[in-house]
Amino acid sequence: MQSQPVTNLPADHAVAMPAYVDRAHLVVQDLRMVSAWYQNVLGLASIEASASGETLGVDGKPLLTLTTDAQATRAPRSAPGLFHTAFLVPDRHKLGRWLAHVADNGVRLQGASDHLVSEAIYLADPEGNGIEVYRDRPRSEWRYEADGTVAMNTLPLDLQSLYDEAPKEAWSGLAAGTVIGHIHLQVSDIPQADAFFRDVLGLDLMARYPGASFFATGKYHHHVAANIWHSRGAAKREAKMTGLSDYTIRFRHSDRLATAIRKLDELQIPVREEGGIHRLTDPWGIGLNLAASAA
């Protein structure tokens, strides 16, 4: 299924950048139950379904594919893979409306943070896959350091205020314009992550936390994050595990994609091309697809 670009985006939007995360693919044990959760709780809509998989999205744009495998075993918490998939909603009112939906339905949240550049709410799906739902603050409110990194923090988010400010219209799913703003991974080594995402794929290092690096293009706060908080020194992810099977990064400029492919080849990381999608496995056993932007 071809990805449809989101139109009428601000020039500084997460997915208007030179490279951005387009979609993610999870392997789950109970496809029917997990898919229903993503539709009823998170607010995605079914776009395409089969006996072994389903593609979900917003306003016709595919964002998340779920597939099931009878032989898949539950990934341990320490395995490299997904920390969370981050769904970016258009504005604070849309974030508040989603919060009101989950609060009114008694959904358990795992946390909520003000990151200076964004406001974020965290939860997990029924099989433990992490999720962030967030909105970006205007870039005029972001502060960049002299070295080009962006100032971020983890401060408490006033959920009551967000809930109180939310429009009270009927819930009809995640707002049109919602996209995957970033993906946060568990890896086994931060210097290795820096070398891969910055030096091979060409993303900029935008921030560091203890045990984590944040990468992006276009001065965005992050399109990909990598941490070792539960996975320091872990062995490569095994096949037939639940959780993140693969995700897609799209490049708006063919030369940047070509440079990344060349560097992967120089490192003898196997890449296979299928219909314009360059498929590989990263140093931690996570599937990664690189493609030119559809826009």
Range scoring the smallest mean pLDDT among 38-42, 76-80, 214-218, 291-295:
291-295
pLDDT(224) > 80: yes
- pTM, two decimals, is 0.96
What's the confidence (pLDDT) of residue 52?
86
3-state secondary structure 83-131: EEEEEECCCHHHHHHHHHHHHHCCCCCCEEEECCCEEEEEEECCCCCEE
What is the identity of the amino acid at 250? R
- The per-residue DSSP string of 156-214 comes to E--HHHHHHHS--SPP-SSPTT-EEEEEEEE-S-HHHHIIIIIIIT--EEEEEETTEEE
Task: List, for residues 78-114, the tens digit of each pLDDT value.
Answer: 999 999 999 999 999 999 999 999 999 999 999 999 9
pLDDT for 70 equals 81
Q: Where are the domains of the chain?
A: 14-243+251-292
pLDDT of residue 3: 57
- DSSP count for the chain of H helices, then E strands: 5, 17
- Percent over 70 (pLDDT), the chain: 97
- Identify the pLDDT of residue 295: 56
In this prediction, residue 71 has a pLDDT band, given cuts at 50, 70 and 90, of: confident
Q: Which of 178, 184, 182, 198 is nearest to 244 (CA)?
A: 184
Extract the tokens encoding 80.
Answer: 């490299």
Tell me the per-residue pLDDT of 232-288, one tens digit each, with 9 for 90 and over: 999 999 988 999 999 999 999 999 999 999 999 999 999 999 999 999 999 999 999
Q: Quick one: pLDDT at residue 4? A: 59
Beta-carbon contacts of residue 48 (< 8 Å; ≥ 6 apart): 1, 54, 55, 62
**Across 13-28, average pLDDT:** 97
Containing H/E element for 292? strand 287-292
pLDDT, residue 69, reads 87
Mean pLDDT of 39-65: 96
pLDDT score for 168: 83
Q: What is the pLDDT of residue 229?
A: 98
In the prediction, which pLDDT does 7 show?
Answer: 62
Interval 112-131 mean pLDDT: 98
In the block, tokens 């002299």 appear at 146
- Average pLDDT over all residues of the chain: 95
Q: What's the CA gap between 176 and 58, in Å, rounded?
A: 6
pLDDT of residue 122: 98
- Mean of pLDDT values over 44-58: 95
CA torsion angle 19 278 85 285 (round to 10): -130
Q: What is the mean pLDDT of residues 189-203?
A: 98
Tens-place pLDDT, residues 134-189: 999 999 999 999 999 999 999 999 999 999 999 888 899 999 999 999 999 999 99
Name the band, by pLDDT with cuts 50, 70 and 90, for residue 49: very high
- Which CATH number does 14-243+251-292 carry? 3.10.180.10
Which among 159, 156, 164, 162 has a CA at the least distance from the CA of 116?
A: 156
Give the model's pLDDT for residue 89.
Answer: 98
Distances (CA, A) of 11 to 42, 198, 218, 280: 27, 23, 10, 30
